[in-house]
Amino acid sequence: MIDMILKLSLTLFMFAIALSLYRVIKGPSLPDRAIALDTIGVNLISAIAIVSIVLKTKAYLEAILIIGILAFIGTIAFSKYIERGVIVERKSTD
């Protein structure tokens, strides 16, 4: 029973990722796409957590944490790129 529920929730997460992919592809603006990718990241965190329950292991906790960090950094990088056109700014004297 619990296994079925876990599988079902995984399927739903994937469905959510597919919907977010539609937003990534379709746009129409760049921020839409960036946010969609961020959503995919969040969905992945949840999906991996469920997978680790299914597999009865603690090995994926680092992966979950790292996606959390990276999705944040990635979104920040995209935002900065969209806003300024560059990611790493240099001092104006350069």
Partner 1 sequence: MIVAFSILLPFIAAACIPFIYRRFKNIHLGWFVLVVPALLFTVLATYIPRIANGETFSKTFEWIPSFGINITTYLDGLSIIFSLLITGVGSLVILYSIFYLSTKESLHHFYCYLLLFMGAMLGVVLSDNLMVLYVFWELTSVSSFLLIAFWHHRKASRAGARKAMLITVSGGVAMLAGFLMLYVVSGTFSIREIIANLDIVQSSNLFIPAMCLVLLGAFTKSAQFPFHIWLPDAMEAPTPVSAYLHSATMVKAGIYLVARMTPIFGGHEVWFWAVSGVGIVTLFWGSFNAVRQFDLKALLAYSTISQLGLIMSLFGLGSAALHLGYSTQSVIYTQATFAALFHLINHSTFKGALFMMVGIVDHEVGTRDIRRLGGLMSLMPFTFTIAVIGSFSMAGLPPFNGFLSKEMFFMATVKITQLDIFSLDSVGLLFPIVAWIASVFTFIYCVIIVMRTFFGKIQPDRLEKPPHEAPIGMLIPPYILIGLVVGIFMFPNILGHYILRPAMASIYPTFPSTDEMTPHISAWHGYINTELIMTIGVVIVGVFLYRTLKKWRPMYQIFPQKYSFNSIYERVISSSEYRSDQVTKRYMNGNLTYYFIYIYVFFVVVLAGYMVYADVFSWDPSKDSVIEPYELILVFVMIFATLAILFAKQRITIVLLNGVLGYSVAFFFVVFRAPDLALTQLVVESITTALFLLSFKFLPKLTKEKVSKTFKFTKITISIAVGATVTFIGLAVMNYDEFEPISAYFEDSYNLAGGKNIVNTILGDFRAFDTMLEVVVLFIAGLGVYTLIKLKAKKGDADVESK
The residue ranges that bind partner 1 (CB under 8 A) are: 7, 10-11, 13-15, 17-18, 21, 24-25, 27, 30, 33-34, 36-37, 40-41, 44, 47-48, 51-52, 55, 57, 59-60, 62-63, 66-67, 70, 73-74, 77-78, 81-82, 85-88
For residue 27, the SS3 value is: coil
In single-letter form, the type of residue at position 19 comes to: L
* CB 71 to partner 1: min, Å: 9
For the four alpha carbons of 65, 68, 69 and 71, in that order, the dihedral sign comes to positive
Ramachandran sector of residue 81 (left: φ over 0; alpha: ψ -120 to 50; beta: rest): alpha
* CB 77 to partner 1: min, Å: 6
